[in-house]
Amino acid sequence: MMIIKKTVQEIGCDTDPWWSALWGVAKLSKVFLCLALSVFGLYAGPWLQKRGHGIVIFGWQDYRASERFSLSGVRQPLAAGGIFEDRSFQFWAEAGLTNRWTGILSGSIPSLRYSDAGYRASSLSVGDLQAGLRRGLRHAASGWQFAAQMLLKVPAYSSRTEPRPGNGQADLEGSLLAGRSFPVGNRWGFVSLEGGYRKRWGQPSDQLRGEASAGIHWTQRLTFIGQTFAIRRVGSLPNSASVWNPLVVPSFDLYKFQASAVIRLKPDWRVQVGYGLDFAGRNIGRGRQWTVVLWKTF
């Protein structure tokens, strides 16, 4: 999900790899569970909000998976014809505390559903909440922009919720961000890069995370964006393929791609529509998702 500033020199995206929590369903009996997980992120580029200004984003995600990536990365159907669906309302806000410090707050309300030949479960609850800060390291009028970011994620749902919207533990993530805009003929394009380390308490494995985005302002009202997201576990995968439930042994690799278009409705209102696909991974679900996002700058 991208944030695009008011000028072509200042384009920012927001995806929450940071509140991208693990979505899943835990099957309690009869068969081993192959989990399909939706990892949705807001990608926050290095661009900052000016003091007293900010952005508020409301998004809707529709994720569906009927396959998984095995321990060796091979695509295979979920056990017993399983299907996992995640329809989530998501919120992301940024505000300029100073011209170099931006505050961040995000959350979600996921509606989760899992079904197979012998089991069904569904839930609706508040998901994970996330708060953090972004500090500008270089914020010149042109050229490369750099920033550092720290985000803390905590669960806001009961441990009895089933399917659970996450692993039920806290995460702390630090990342470095870089980006710039540049002319492409008579148009403007931009790139944004991000790399970070996510510390995860409890059973989940720590993670290395990377993101890359590129886009072009096709007209004054229309922008096209392509994004890739990478999550790499720290440590080994389970030794046995029978331990497929990431809520028990949440260790996985995942690589995603998303393409989207952003339409400017008014100077401070934009809408974004995107389609994403999990194209590679290990020990995790494989799915696709549609997203619709409405955001307002102030």
- Pairwise CA distance, residues 295 & 297, whole Å: 7
Any bridge partners for residue 221, and if so which?
Answer: none
Domain holding 132, by residue range, is 2-297
**pLDDT tens for the 298 residues of the chain, in order:** 443 333 222 323 333 332 233 333 333 223 223 332 333 334 457 888 999 999 999 999 999 999 989 889 999 998 888 898 999 999 999 999 999 999 999 999 999 998 888 888 888 999 999 999 999 998 777 789 999 999 999 999 888 887 778 778 899 999 999 999 999 999 999 999 999 999 999 888 999 999 999 999 999 999 999 999 999 999 888 776 543 333 334 789 999 999 999 999 999 999 999 999 999 999 888 999 999 999 999 9
* 44's tokens: 């926050």
Secondary structure (DSSP) of the chain: -EEE-SSTT-EEE-B-SSS-PPP-----SSS----------B---S--PPBT-EEEEEEEEEEEEEEEE-TTS-EEEPGGG-EEEEEEEEEEEEEESSSSEEEEEEEEEEEEEEEETTEEEEEE---EEEEEEEEEEE--SSS-EEEEEEEEEEE-S-TT-SS-SS-SS-EEEEEEEEEEEEEETTEEEEEEEEEEEEEE-SSSPPEEEEEEEEEEE-SSSEEEEEEEEEEEESSPPPSSTT---TTTS---EEEEEEEEEEEEEETTEEEEEEEEEEEEEESEEEEEEEEEEEEEE-
Contact 209, 19 (CB under 8 A): no
Which CATH number covers residue 281?
2.40.160.40
pLDDT given at position 119: 85
pLDDT of residue 140: 72
- According to the model, what pLDDT value does residue 90 have? 95
List, in order, residues 6 or more apart from 43 with CB less than 8 Å away. 1, 2, 13, 14, 15, 16, 17, 192, 194, 211, 213, 227, 229
Write down the pLDDT at residue 209.
97
**Single-letter amino acid, residue 273:** V
**In this predicted structure, what is the pLDDT of residue 93?**
96
Rounded to a whole number, what is the distance in angstroms from the first to the last CA of the chain?
18
The answer to pTM > 0.85 is: no
> pLDDT at position 80, please?
86
- Predicted pLDDT of residue 241: 52
- For residue 222, the SS3 value is strand
pLDDT score for 240? 60
Integer-rounded Cα Rg, in Å, for the chain is 19
The answer to whether 264 touches 272, Cβ cutoff 8 Å, is no
Distance CA 60, CA 76 (A): 28
Q: How many domains does the chain have?
A: 1
- Strand, helix or coil at 79? helix
Alpha-carbon gap, residue 118 to 111, rounded angstroms: 21
